Amino acid sequence: MPDPVLFEIKDKVALLTFNRPDKLNALNYAVIDRLMELLDRAEDDDGICAVIVTGAGDRAFSAGADIPEFTASMRKGTEIAVKDFVRRGQAMTARMEAFGKPIIAAVNGIAFGGGCEITEAVHLAVASDKAVFAKPEINIGIPPTFGGTQRLPRLAGRKRALEFLLTGDRFSPQRACEIGLVNRIVAHDALLPATFELASRIMRHSPGTAASIIAAATHGLNMSIEQGLQVESEQFARVAASANTREALDAWIDKRTPNYAGR
Ligand code: COA
């Protein structure tokens, strides 16, 4: 059996590749479970400073949850389907959203359903000019289940999101960029180099400070502004006394490039 998610480390970046190209990288339980294991590994490895996720083959980032597999779970009963399918997928996107190192999607093709929800959940996304997006769950009679009813309205605004959620229509990378789902679009052949370059521009900075910014922005978004400001000051307090922050400030004063530990 081929590994459902490929793992490679390059330039201190973990490249995770959904590896079911014959099934358009549909997210079966094995892919999700393996991805969760690899995220743990990437988090624990001090030699990894960022993560990029992409899809194998020339057609898809991911065509979403594995329909025959979760249909089988649904046939066993709603409780089983909620546990095996919904909670598993929600845990995956929540893990990515809250991941302590920058995580970037390189959207190389079809990003439907769960593939779109992963794009919503990660910190940044770069799309190939061949990418295509959709929220097609309504076509098969279910609402999105990996956070898609929650994150897209927060990212794009409620009415823009509801149009995609309620029509199931496909949309272009240009539209995905306009609504804030992806950061930029690049020529297909430049996708991975451009995504690695974006990661490297984050990795010039202190890893602890990057983690504090991710945590403040991600947690604060789902709180009142007062609570969010509290999170912001906690994140400041977390890094303020660190060696890397001291180094950043000293380097600025000395007019030199900072030399960070763990970078
Ligand atoms: N789950 C499981 N298998 C999937 C899949 C999914 N979400 N999406 C695609 N596949 C499989 C197909 O069953 C097919 O496998 P097969 O060759 O063994 O029959 C293979 O991937 C290629 O897909 P196919 O449908 O033949 O390609 P296409 O170009 O005709 O259509 C799509 C592409 C994306 C429009 C179509 O595959 C599709 O609608 N997929 C489902 C998308 C979706 O609803 N996702 C949300 C699920 S909640």
Closest atom of ligand 1 to 59 CA is: 29
CA 93 – CA 95 distance, rounded (Å): 5
Nearest to 62 by CA among 6, 118, 16: 118
Give the Å distance between the CA of 64 and the centre of ligand 1: 9
- Which pLDDT does position 263 carry in this prediction? 67
DSSP-assigned letter for residue 120? H
Active site residue 8: no
pLDDT tens digits, the chain, 263 residues: what are they? Answer: 899 999 999 999 999 999 999 999 999 999 999 999 999 999 999 999 999 999 999 999 999 999 999 999 999 999 999 999 999 999 999 999 999 999 999 999 999 999 999 999 999 999 999 999 999 999 999 999 999 999 999 999 999 999 999 999 999 999 999 999 999 999 999 999 999 999 999 999 999 999 999 999 999 998 999 999 999 999 999 999 999 999 999 999 999 999 998 76
Question: What type of residue sits at position 250?
Answer: D
Tokens standing for residue 183: 């950061």
Cβ–ligand 1 contact at 60 (below 6 Å):
no
Residues 6 or more apart whose CB falls under 8 angstroms from that of 112 comprise: 62, 63, 64, 132, 133, 134, 135, 136
CA 235 – CA 132 distance, rounded (Å): 36
Cβ–ligand 1 contact at 113 (below 6 Å):
yes
**Gyration radius of the chain's alpha carbons:** 19
Tokens standing for residue 19: 């590896």
Select which of 137, 232, 234, 247 is catalytic.
137
pLDDT tens-digit map of 127-156 = 999 999 999 999 999 999 999 999 999 999
pLDDT tens-digit map of 67-102 = 999 999 999 999 999 999 999 999 999 999 999 999
- Which pLDDT does position 85 carry in this prediction? 97
Q: Are 161 and 191 in contact (CB under 8 A)?
A: no
- Which pLDDT does position 1 carry in this prediction? 82
Segments of the chain assigned E as strands? 5-10, 13-18, 50-55, 60-62, 103-107, 110-112, 124-128, 132-134, 170-171, 184-186
Active site residue 69: no
Question: What type of residue sits at position 246?
Answer: R
Nearest to 109 by CA among 18, 193, 36, 31: 18
Cβ–ligand 1 contact at 23 (below 6 Å):
yes
Cβ–ligand 1 contact at 65 (below 6 Å):
yes
DSSP-assigned letter for residue 149? H
- Which pLDDT does position 162 carry in this prediction? 98
Tokens standing for residue 172: 């272009």
- Which pLDDT does position 115 carry in this prediction? 98
- Residue 7 CA to chain centroid, in angstroms? 16
Give the Å distance between the CA of 62 and the centre of ligand 1: 9
Q: Are 192 and 128 in contact (CB under 8 A)?
A: no
Closest atom of ligand 1 to 142 CA is: 48
- Which pLDDT does position 124 carry in this prediction? 98
Give the Å distance between the CA of 112 and the centre of ligand 1: 10
Give the Å distance between the CA of 2 and the centre of ligand 1: 19
Tokens standing for residue 203: 């990795």
Cβ–ligand 1 contact at 131 (below 6 Å):
no
> Ligand 1 test: best mutation among 18, 24, 61, 140, most atoms within 8 Å of CB?
24
Cβ atoms < 10 Å from Cβ of 224? 9
169: three-class secondary structure by DSSP: coil
Residues 6 or more apart whose CB falls under 8 angstroms from that of 193 comprise: none
DSSP-assigned letter for residue 27? B
pTM of the model: 0.97
Query: Could you give the count of Cα atoms lying within 13 Å of 93 in the half-sphere of its Cβ?
Result: 26
